[in-house]
Amino acid sequence: GMRISEFQSIRVGDINFSKGEIIILGKGRKLGRVYFSFNTGVDLQIYITKNRLLPSDYLWRSTVNNGLPYTKKTIRKKTKRAFARCGFKDFTPHQLRHSFATDLIERGATIQDAQHLLRHSSSKTTEIYIHNLQNKINDTYRKLHNEEIY
């Protein structure tokens, strides 16, 4: 659920493996937290070790740019290429935020939970992210009331 600028600026020292969280600098220069699973933590530790990264290093650093983070353009290009290989030709990194929000709500999170995890200052913004779930509201209502779904 990170913004591309948040993703771009992660330093190894921002990662707390024991808590499964990353401290990020969000929109409006606000500090925030994003969370990751145990398996993601293992993958991150392998990546950090393999690339011999120090706590002060950017996690996604450019080898051609003296260790500075990848540019937003490069991140977009790399993710677009990776998703295209999986059959998603018109992918944008921002779609991951929308997918994250949708997944949260489908798994039972409240709008307020999603708002907090996406670091939105207004629930109205969060509602925009989950607009495609409106068709599922009827299904959820019926399921909660043990009614058959048509």
Compute the average pLDDT of residues 123-137.
72
- Please provide residue 27's backbone torsions phi and psi, each rounded to the nearest 5 degrees: -60, 140
Q: Give the CA distances from residue 37 to residues 5, 21, 89, in Å, rounded to whole numbers and listed in that order.
A: 21, 9, 27
Helices marked H in 4-133 — which ranges? Answer: 4-8, 38-50, 72-85, 94-106, 111-118, 123-129
116 catalytic? Reply is no
pLDDT in the model for residue 142: 63
Which band of pLDDT confidence, cut at 50, 70 and 90, is reported for residue 97?
A: confident
120 catalytic? Reply is yes
The one catalytic residue among 72, 97, 98, 136: 97
129 catalytic? Reply is yes
- pLDDT at residue 98 tops 90: no
The one catalytic residue among 3, 11, 58, 119: 3
29: nearest Cα among 45, 10, 6, 51? 6
3 catalytic? Reply is yes
